[in-house]
Structure 1
Amino acid sequence: MERDTAGRLRAICGELSERFYERADVVRTLCVTLLAGQHSLLLGPPGTAKSELAREITSRVEDASYWEILLSKFTAPTRMFGPVDVGALARGEYRQVFEGRATTAHIAFIDEIFKCSAAALNETLGFLNERIYHPENGGEPIRCPLIGAITASNELPSGEENAAVYDRLLVRIEVGYLADPSNFASLIRSAVRRPEPPTRTTVALAELQRAVAEEVPAVEVPDTMVDAVCTLRAALRRKELVASDRRWRQAVRLLQASAYLDGRTAVSETDLSVLTHVLWDSPAQRPTVEREVLQLVNLDAREALDLADTIGELEAQLDSMAGQPREALSEWVIKNAHQKLALAGKRLEKLREEAAAAGRSTAAIERVTGRQRAVRARVLTEALGVDASMVRAQL
């Protein structure tokens, strides 16, 4: 096994991708964000393993001080950054206990981030943006050792106050329920069988800190990549999607972190795909951002997205036919869905082979392939009545 920091982090990504179905891109993006010293948001409905995934990633950093909290509109700043020392207060001294709170954390997980109370808002913004905390009794600001925070929410923020917090979260990742029935069947089976002890790779805190502070910033950003980012910005502005200069500047470190995680010394077109999680404000904007980004990555990815549109249309048709007799569903599969899904699968495999042979990224193609397999699995189980536990063998 590789012993370097990037190699360990790649091993962690692999282990978690096997454990958390349909979450490979989520896992990698969270690791890249941490390497960039930035904060991320997991956005999705309850029960999509957001908290479990965040805890599993953060627990892989040895010797790190970890802090976690579930926010509500009543959460006081002292609960987050340091409660009052009752013993000292009895002696007439006002002192806070910072140990074990956000103030001393290297890594944080903040659940329901947009339920931050008005009282804690300014300190939370200072913690995320400047890594500082202003003590309740005044005095010099306290420097916090935070590398990065993973946050989670079931919904987008509302109101200007929450928008300020949202803006501090550079990476936004949508997390949904499992799409592939065979993965769902595997999830159910995992709940009733005794799990084998998982392989558990870790990385030392000092190694991660060195990577964030020294090794990732040393990754080269060629002029061609600067030009690509400028081209992307212009393309998005034509679509009336405008990100702040600060967000673009911070995104460069994400590109460097992506290259570092892959073991490369310079940023390449492959790394641009991480920007699909950076340059949108609402989920409705994400497909547009992804299409513009992947057009810069390679033409294979662009064609894969076109196939994704076809696959999405078939899934929408399947949803609209809910409740219809099995005979009607079978007829639709025979006349429409089966051939289109089969052709899409063959073309995606060809695109993947061509991209791999040319040394181009296959990540987008593989993501669309996963969608194709998930929709085909739904067709087999919902329209044709095939046992979900047998689906994977037929794909």
Structure 2
Amino acid sequence: MDAPDPQGTSKQLRAISDELSGRFYERADVVRTLLVTLLAGQHSLVLGPPGTAKSELARELTGRIEGASYWEILLSKFTAPTRMFGPVDVAALARGEYRQIYDGRATTAHVAFIDEIFKCSTAALNETLGYLNERIYHPESGGAPIRCPLIGAITASNELPAGEDTAAIYDRLLVRIEVGYLADPSNFAALIRSAVGRPTAPARTTVELAALRHAVTEAVPAVDVPDGIVDAVCTLRAALRRKELIASDRRWRQAVGLLQASAYLDDRTAVAETDLSVLTHVLWDSPAERPTVEREVLQLVNPDAKEALDLADAIEELEAQLDAMAGQSREALSEWVITKAHHTLATAGKRLEKLRAEAAGAGRSTAAVDRVIGRQRAVRTRVLTEALGLDASMVQSQL
């Protein structure tokens, strides 16, 4: 049997990323990061409020792996380990034998989605840690541990862990991605229209399990990590330590695999500075730390992203002002738009487009700038629809 073609596999994965990014509004970075995490053989956490498509996105992504055994569960504090890893075989028990049925459970899964991961019961905690850490399960009846074929797990939660027990699980989830409700009113309008329209059959690229396994075990580890990237990681670590943001040595070491996976996904044989941007999802513990980490990472990657984040602060402040003016008269809102909001948003928009052009011309990643451009357009749409009463569809057609 011929070895899978690495370029063909990365091309398929990029196609999957593009298809899901088009289907799930404002989730392009989330989709790419989940794919990179899976390619690195690591686990991810999608953190956000209910109703943000966490489960749907995870199912759609994992469902694109042909031939893979998939397992999904919604945890609660009462979930027993046997429900996760294999129920007791009642027929065998009647014969005096204690045996578990593993088919269709975590024990046989190649990919997994674990919802409400931090509601893991105390009884299942140790087995879950062993499953995520070493990919092993210790049978209830004793005996040799079972090796599980898990490549990676996507987990989700509406909240951060509350106790020390579940904090141990949190520490094992290398990648942490925050999601929120749709910010751009035009995307929200498109979402509403999709609920009443007749859906068309979307493109559905898949990747074979064998090809994905080969990428995870052979192709990704073979990606070169130049000395310049090692120096950049050391510089980043020192910068974060000065701000009292400390990540464990284990987390830093595992992060190297993410850098290699990011390069592989883009069909490159060596890690580049642009791949460092994935570390914005790795090096924080609380969401309050994420903006600081993002700034330090992107400042290292390219100056365009750093300036874009500074512009993002001004845009966020403007949106906060809009929220504070809720209930005011249309005249007051119109005056605010004319004297403040329009100029700020227009200036930011022009500068962001210039930054994007400069980054693209220099061969640097435009991902961070693109995210801020999206925020600028979303806030502009909010201002025009909520303050001036314009129709969201008409505003979108002008962007």
Is the partner of 1:4 in helix, strand or coil? helix
1:300 pairs with one of 289, 292, 304: 304
Taking the aligned partners of 2:398 and 2:289, their CA distance within structure 1 comes to 35
The residue number in structure 1 matching 2:228 is 224
Taking the aligned partners of 1:262 and 1:172, their CA distance within structure 2 comes to 21
The residue number in structure 1 matching 2:387 is 383
Is the partner of 1:294 in helix, strand or coil? helix
TM-score, with length taken from structure 2? 0.98
The residue number in structure 2 matching 1:81 is 85
The residue number in structure 2 matching 1:288 is 292
The answer to whether structure 1 residue 276 and structure 2 residue 288 are counterparts is no
Kindly indicate whether the alpha-carbon contact (under 8 Å) linking 1:259 and 1:271 is maintained by their aligned counterparts in 2. yes
Deviations 1:195-245 (A, max 9, x none): 110000000000000000000000000000000000000000011100000
Kindly indicate whether the alpha-carbon contact (under 8 Å) linking 2:7 and 2:267 is maintained by their aligned counterparts in 1. no
1:181 Cα deviation from its structure 2 partner: 0.3
The residue number in structure 1 matching 2:141 is 137
2:214 pairs with one of 198, 210, 215: 210
Taking the aligned partners of 2:355 and 2:80, their CA distance within structure 1 comes to 53
The residue number in structure 2 matching 1:156 is 160
Is the partner of 1:149 in helix, strand or coil? strand
Superposition pairs for residues 355-374 of structure 1, below 5 Å? Answer: 355-374=359-378
Taking the aligned partners of 2:166 and 2:382, their CA distance within structure 1 comes to 38
Kindly indicate whether the alpha-carbon contact (under 8 Å) linking 1:135 and 1:142 is maintained by their aligned counterparts in 2. yes
Taking the aligned partners of 1:3 and 1:239, their CA distance within structure 2 comes to 40
CA separation of 1:83 and 1:175: change in aligned 2, threshold 3 A:
same
Superposition pairs for residues 333-372 of structure 1, below 5 Å? Answer: 333-372=337-376
The residue number in structure 1 matching 2:171 is 167
1:49 pairs with one of 53, 67, 82: 53
The residue number in structure 1 matching 2:115 is 111
The residue number in structure 2 matching 1:201 is 205
1:247 Cα deviation from its structure 2 partner: 0.3
Kindly indicate whether the alpha-carbon contact (under 8 Å) linking 1:78 and 1:84 is maintained by their aligned counterparts in 2. yes
The residue number in structure 2 matching 1:394 is 398
Kindly indicate whether the alpha-carbon contact (under 8 Å) linking 1:182 and 1:390 is maintained by their aligned counterparts in 2. no
1:300 Cα deviation from its structure 2 partner: 0.7
Deviations 1:261-306 (A, max 9, x none): 0011000110000000000011100000000000010011111111
1:91 pairs with one of 95, 100, 120: 95
TM-score, with length taken from structure 1? 0.99
The answer to whether structure 1 residue 68 and structure 2 residue 72 are counterparts is yes
Taking the aligned partners of 1:240 and 1:325, their CA distance within structure 2 comes to 46
Give 5+ residue unaligned stretches, structure 2.
1-5
Give 5+ residue unaligned stretches, structure 1.
none
Kindly indicate whether the alpha-carbon contact (under 8 Å) linking 1:42 and 1:173 is maintained by their aligned counterparts in 2. yes
Q: What value does the CA root-mean-square deviation take over the aligned residues?
A: 0.8
Deviations 1:307-335 (A, max 9, x none): 11111110111111111111111110100
Is the partner of 2:262 in helix, strand or coil? helix
The residue number in structure 1 matching 2:3 is none
Taking the aligned partners of 1:108 and 1:296, their CA distance within structure 2 comes to 34
Taking the aligned partners of 2:7 and 2:287, their CA distance within structure 1 comes to 38
2:132 pairs with one of 110, 128, 131: 128
Q: Which runs of 4+ in 1 moved over 6 A?
A: none
Deviations 1:143-162 (A, max 9, x none): 00000000000000011001
Taking the aligned partners of 1:278 and 1:3, their CA distance within structure 2 comes to 27
1:389 Cα deviation from its structure 2 partner: 2.0
Kindly indicate whether the alpha-carbon contact (under 8 Å) linking 1:35 and 1:208 is maintained by their aligned counterparts in 2. yes
1:3 Cα deviation from its structure 2 partner: 6.9
1:388 Cα deviation from its structure 2 partner: 1.4
Taking the aligned partners of 1:239 and 1:391, their CA distance within structure 2 comes to 41
* 2:41 counterpart letter in structure 1: G
